[in-house]
A and B are shown apart, each in its own frame.
Chain A
Amino acid sequence: MSSINDFVIKLANVNGTGSASANGLLMKSIFRMGVPVVGKNVFPSNIQGLPTWYEVRVTGAGYGARSGDVDMMVAMNANTYARDIAELRPGGVLIYDSTWPRQHVLSRTDVTVLGVPLAQMCNAAFKVARSRVLMKNMAYVGAVAALLDVDVEVIRTLVREMFAKKPKLVDLNMQAIALGYDYAMEHFECPLPFKVEKLNKTDGKIMIDGNTAAGLGCVYAGATVGAWYPITPSTSLMDAFKSWCEKFRVDPETGAHNYCIIQAEDELAAVGMVVGASWNGARSFTPTSGPGISLMSEFIGFAYYAEIPLVLFDVQRVGPSTGMPTRTQQCDVQMCAYASHGDTRHILLFPADPGECFTMAADAFDLAERYQTPVFVLSDIDIGMNDWMVDELQWDDARQPDRGKVLNAEQIEKLDKFYRYRDPDGDGIPYRTLPGTHPKGAYFTRGSGHNADGAYTENEAEYQEVLDRLVRKWRGAADHVPAPVVKTAKGGKANWGIIAYGSSDCAVLEACDTLAAEGLHLDYMRVRGFPFNDDVSDFVMAHDHVFIVEQNRDAQLRGLLLLETQIPRAKMFSILHYSGEPLTSHFVHDHIKEMARKEQSA
């Protein structure tokens, strides 16, 4: 089997051995050669010792998901040899460390087994024990580069950039890369039938993870207060915000910060700080994951009822409970939609890649302040922690933030009296004031029953008036959350539709292409926000069946559609993937194919 720029390399490693930077180097070298790549890091909830995998898909066609195949396996973890070897497709290539005899690597006769004595070479070449471990990774990068025809000069440039601050390490790493490269050139027929060839398909693209992009989006949105409690996989979002702030928000002369990041004692306090800062007129946010949302729920209800803007990033991980903290899912959709006790409904945004993490971070602050309510950005581990190839981020300097209905001192001065929860504009959105602005602007913020004037009440009609306005306000957001994206099947109207959101997007797009090539055409809608606007139900109603692809067990988006729209249950079929690994295009394709087969035979 020969193939140019279309194959998957999977690297099986041991956590904590420094493999991540080597694998990243390999992927980025291919990206620098102008060839689109997809990188997925599947790692354990562990610091050192447990198995970890890194998958690099080389895709000249520019698809963004895992395919589901493995063409080359670099098996560096003796503990997972058996399953790693089994995953390789027939005709694939296995690379292993042949320093020690590994009889069982020969258990398959339908793959090419290439042994490289990595440990032996590194032990001979390097003195320091830690170097010997780390350099094994660089050595296999060299071997893979030779086998796939990756440009060594590109690798060298990247290594120089990686170690710009520690130039001594450049030579060391290049030496290790040469060990593997030379060994492969000498002992194997290089390159393999599948290999990398230069392209120009990465112009205007960057490689970035969603958490970094979201942190940057917060800076661009003008956020000044961030409060958080460390939790995988959201921690790197605040790390990113902090490093961008250090770059852009420190007065070069005085060293004064125009941002404040507070590491709270728990998630309850983190969201409380965001409540306080937002109530006081600063753009403020908290990044967390599902368990954090559980803990924050009381304050989320308070912010909903007292009408305080909140921006929450939920980088979803596998639940329930502690679940699998380093594995990906879309399992917090319903919890976030209705978080907290009592009648509460929230605004959700579903970014599909790091590019949208950047734009939706900025949108989230506008929506939170416009609607004076919590807004959730539902990312996940796949988006948040993997490097994705996306279009360069864009910013329009003409963009101004929507700070919503906040009265300034002059406006308050003109009022006879300020009433916090009245609805003078009829859109369900009241006016608010900030502490310290004007003596007439004061009001008492409370989570207890209140009337339109902002006063305490237990009066039935007064209570209901506020509660009814809140849901009108929320419904009004349907046309202001990011609109769904529709990709219509070629050649006119398809009978079947497919709906997905968030990180399922790339797999679905590819599956649609493959199915179309096989003669099965589907229209595809990607939902990007909640509350749903009418386009969402119109799309479903316009098709005989709609498949809803989700990364959770309970079909949570389908559940929301049943609750919030008039769509009949029988129209929607779920395709559910919740193993914790990022979705593959094969999975989507195979499920729909199976449905088609059943339909035909019925």
Chain B
Amino acid sequence: MTSFAKPNIKLKNAKHNALGLTRHDYEGAMSTLCAGCGHDSVTACMAKAFFELSIEPHRAVKISGIGCSSKTTAYFLREAHGNNTVHGRMPSVATGAAAANAGLTYIGVSGDGDSLSIGMGQFAHAMRRNVNMLYMLENNGVYGLTKGQFSASADIGSKSKKGEVNIAPPIDPVTLALSLGATFVARAFSGDREQLVPLIKAGLKHNGFGLIDVISPCVSFNDHVGSTKSYAHTYKYYHPAVHADYVPMSEEIQTSYAAGEAVPVELHDGGSILLRKIDEDYDPRDRGAAYAQITERAAQGEIVTGLLYLDESQDDMAAVNKLTDRPLNTFPYDELCPGADALIELQKGFR
């Protein structure tokens, strides 16, 4: 038996959200990942974001592929359906699920191997379709479950635990997403919850495909000196450029920000994402400029983080396909079957 339920420890002054639920209600099974794994922090951040957004757990859907990151869908939202699909194919399952019922909240959890190697095609096409989902890419530059091979996101010159030096150029999911027309592109670090939780909330509320590339170090195979995806390296070089906060429709936007410092972007649901620039030179509304900034900084070894690009004006997959507002999986059969008379009529064209 290798699945453990998490003990339900009732904390006295546990906070309740608008649904009257506590953080515990957003947790899942015990993690079976290595102690100190960056993914466990990301899992906690996802649970916290759902809790703070007061999304009913059972109205969320968690979908993943194969790999350490993909296992984490079992470790939060125990009342949500999870689907741990096949390697690199999470996006297609999420796409089909979203087509069947656009009324649920979809979160996909994947890794750098799952997304940038075997699943690169599906990852790209889910962005191209603007499927309404949040895609968490837990990026550690390494294949953990098969014990330490470089992944496609490993930097040139980064050293493996055995001392091997990576020679193949990395694929950066963020610049890839920008070039493919993704509408919500973010990068974060599993070690910075203050930044990550608001990003997840914003990504869940974004209408369309949201990507958060989370640098999430692998303590067992890629957290040593010489690795560019270690905790130490990431702490040293990461550079928050734009902070993002989700503000629900019901709340007025705080006036504590100085004018010009924070830009509200209105969302489909009436709420907004408040973009707060940390780096004055950075513009998260300009795709080309964002791309240029990220690549220039990367060349200097800097990891630009935050909500790096946001475009709320694009139609998502459901709108592009003119889907009705009612979920397709709720249509009664008699509304779908044209019936015997229609069959007789249409066959006049086959004589």
A residues neighboring B (CB under 8 Å): 31-32, 202, 205-208, 216, 219-222, 224-225, 227, 247-249, 251, 254-262, 264-266, 268-282, 284, 298-299, 302, 392-397, 400-401, 433-448, 455-459
Contacts and interface: CB of A to CB of B under 8 A. Distances in A.
Contact of A269 (B2, B121, B351): B121
Most buried by A among B78, B89, B92, B129: B92
Contact of B122 (A258, A269, A433, A443): A269
A271 B333 CA distance: 23
A222 B337 contact: yes
B324 to A, nearest CB: 4
Nearest to B81: A435
A222 B56 contact: no
Contacts of A435: 58, 61, 80-81, 97, 101, 104
B350 interface: yes
B329 interface: yes
B96 A280 contact: yes
Contacts of B337: 219-222, 395
Contact of B86 (A221, A257, A284, A298): A298
A433 to B, nearest CB: 8
A272 B324 contact: no
Contacts of A400: 333
B85 interface: yes
A395 B82 contact: no
Give the 8 A-B residue pairs with the shortest CB-CB distance, closest first: A272-B92, A276-B96, A273-B96, A282-B100, A435-B81, A277-B96, A276-B93, A281-B329
12 contacts: A256-B325, A262-B95, A262-B99, A262-B129, A272-B89, A275-B93, A276-B94, A280-B101, A280-B329, A298-B86, A436-B81, A443-B82
Contacts of B74: 444, 456
B328 interface: yes
Contact of B99 (A248, A273, A437): A273
Nearest to A206: B350
Contacts of A227: 92, 96
A387 B158 CA distance: 62
Contacts of A262: 95-96, 99, 129, 321
A271 B326 CA distance: 24
Contact of B58 (A219, A266, A396, A436): A436
Given A264-B92, A439-B58, A445-B82, A276 B63 contact: yes
A119 to B, nearest CB: 33
Interface of B: 1-3, 56-59, 61, 63, 73-74, 78-86, 89, 91-101, 103-104, 121-122, 124-125, 129, 318, 321-326, 328-329, 331, 333, 335-340, 342-344, 346-347, 350-351
A278 B333 CA distance: 15
B78 A442 contact: yes
B153 to A, nearest CB: 21
Contact of B96 (A32, A257, A272, A302): A272
A219 B338 contact: yes
Given A442-B80, A445-B84, A258 B336 contact: yes
Contact of A256 (B63, B86, B323): B323
A289 to B, nearest CB: 19
Contacts of A224: 100, 328-329, 331, 336
Given A282-B329, A395-B339, A435-B104, A273 B322 contact: no
